[in-house]
Structure 1
Amino acid sequence: MKQLILVRHGKSSWEYSVNDKDRPLLQRGINDGHLVAGAFKERDIIPDAIFSSPAIRAMHTCLIFLRQLHFPYGQFEINNELYDFSGEYVLQFIKNLDNSLNTVMIFGHNHAFTHLANSLGSRHIDNVPTSGLVQMGFDTDNWNTITKGTTLNTIFPKHLK
């Protein structure tokens, strides 16, 4: 069985005149990231691998989770394919994952994550919110063959406040 955990980056700031990849998190994004990471930690799931989009807001959200999960900083990877808004490149990334990895966590962006949560999961989600987490399971041993799986868990900040 393979498990995929999608985490949308926290709420970002539009205050600064920077390119999209360089936008930082708002304080709310930081707070919500800690809230969701803490709730996820209680489930005692440690991913085999963690990957992040190269956008600052996604990497910062990822670092919050790494710290909460006590995941070694040197063992997560940044991948340009995860800076995707349609889901096409993220899906290709997922299908090319090493089959020795059973539980993978990915940090990235909407609309890609809402699209993937709905096309791969079993529960319709109108919108994966900022700092939102969707965990899905697939009855396969090969990432390349994943199709429709089961939505195992969602953790959204508004449900924790």
Structure 2
Amino acid sequence: MKTIVLIRHAKSSWDHDVSDLNRPLSKRGFTDANLVSKAFGAYNFNPEAIFCSPANRALTTCQLFMDNIGLEKKLLTIDHELYDFGGNQVRRFIKSLDDDLDKIMIFGHNHAFTSLANSFGDADIDNLPTSGLVMIEFNVNQWQEVSQGETKMILKPKDFK
């Protein structure tokens, strides 16, 4: 059994003259990421690895989740392949994971995460919002075999406001 938790980065701020990679979270982004991460923490999901895009907004979201859930920093790997908006790079990344890992979290971007949630899961998601989370389970033993799984959870900030 393989389980993926996809988390779209929290709402970013466009008020700064920085590159896309360096864009920070907005005030709402911090609020929403805290709401969703604290709610997700109640499920006691213990990932064996956490992967994150190098984008500032994704990394800050990841750090908020890790802090609120109490996950160890040593679980985190930052990978440039996750700075992907279409989904093909993230799909390749997932299919190349070490088969010793069974439960992972990935922090990244849209449209990639909405697309992956819809192609991997069995729920129809119109748009995974910022700070949105989707958990998908696969009845396979190898990441290369991941194709169609079962959507076990969808958390959105508006669910906790």
Same structural fold, with TM-score higher than 0.5 when normalized by the shorter chain:
yes
| Residues 1:110 and 2:117 aligned together | no
Q: Which amino acid aligns with 1:66?
A: M
**Runs (4+) off by over 6 Å:** none
**Contact 2:48 2:75 survives alignment (8 Å):** no
CA distance in 2, matches of 1:66, 1:98: 22
How far apart are 1:74 and its partner, in Å?
2.7
**Contact 1:46 1:69 survives alignment (8 Å):** no
Q: Aligned pair count? A: 161
- What is the aligned partner in structure 2 of residue 5 from structure 1? 5
Q: Which amino acid aligns with 2:45?
A: I
CA distance in 1, matches of 2:87, 2:125: 15
- What is the aligned partner in structure 1 of residue 69 from structure 2? 69
Question: Unaligned 5+ residue runs, structure 1?
Answer: none
- What is the aligned partner in structure 2 of residue 133 from structure 1? 133
CA distance in 2, matches of 1:44, 1:70: 10
- What is the aligned partner in structure 2 of residue 84 from structure 1? 84
How far apart are 1:126 and its partner, in Å?
0.1
Q: Which amino acid aligns with 1:35?
A: L
CA distance in 2, matches of 1:68, 1:30: 12
Identical amino acids, percent of aligned pairs = 48
How far apart are 1:75 and its partner, in Å?
2.5
> What SS class does the counterpart of residue 105 from structure 1 fall into?
strand
| Residues 1:14 and 2:35 aligned together | no
- What is the aligned partner in structure 1 of residue 27 from structure 2? 27
- What is the aligned partner in structure 2 of residue 53 from structure 1? 53
Instruction: Encode CA deviations 1:78-97: one digit per residue, 9 max, x unaligned.
Output: 00000000000000000011
Aligned residues: CA RMSD: 0.6
Question: Unaligned 5+ residue runs, structure 2?
Answer: none
How far apart are 1:68 and its partner, in Å?
1.3
CA distance in 2, matches of 1:71, 1:38: 12
| Residues 1:151 and 2:151 aligned together | yes
Instruction: Encode CA deviations 1:119-155: one digit per residue, 9 max, x unaligned.
Output: 0000000000000000000000100111110000000
- What is the aligned partner in structure 1 of residue 124 from structure 2? 124
**Contact 1:52 1:107 survives alignment (8 Å):** yes
**Contact 1:11 1:131 survives alignment (8 Å):** yes
CA distance in 2, matches of 1:32, 1:143: 31
> What SS class does the counterpart of residue 15 from structure 1 fall into?
coil
- TM-score by length of structure 2 reads 0.99
